[in-house]
Amino acid sequence: MPRPWEPAANGGLRLRVRVTPKAAHDRLEGIEIRDDGLCVLRCRVRAVPDKGAANAAVTALVARSLGLAKRDVRLVAGATARVKMLELDADAQMLAARLRQFCGPSA
């Protein structure tokens, strides 16, 4: 099964997320394979997509969900798009293990 993450140059991971703003709850929902074949982690946030509020909510949610400090999660691509690339600064194996909790064991 494809994974929504890949190794990053800093020793951490790069994570693709598909964001749905203005949701009822903040949560990570699991893997989605898009029609174009891209694998992403679905993410819902209550924040509106205005002045970076949804981007800040996404980075905070991912950090909290993976047990990272907010400073260890950075938006590196997709600031105005639904599909975003985040860079996670931590041990790649530890991050992959934690991400499998949201993506399923086959990821």
Which amino acid appears at position 90 of this protein? A
Distance CA 38, CA 23 (A): 23
- For residue range 5-18, list pLDDT tens digits in order: 888 887 889 999 99
pLDDT tens digits, one per residue of 27-68: 998 888 888 888 999 999 999 988 889 999 999 999 999 999
Percent with pLDDT over 90 in the chain: 56
Reply yes or no on whether the pLDDT at 100 is more than 90. no
Average pLDDT, the chain: 89
Give residue 8's pLDDT.
Answer: 86
Pairing of strands 13-20, 39-44: parallel
In a domain, 107, yes or no: no
- pLDDT score of 105: 56
Question: What domain range includes position 49?
Answer: 5-101
Per the DSSP assignment, residues forming a β-bridge with 24 are: none
CATH number at residue 69: 3.30.1200.10
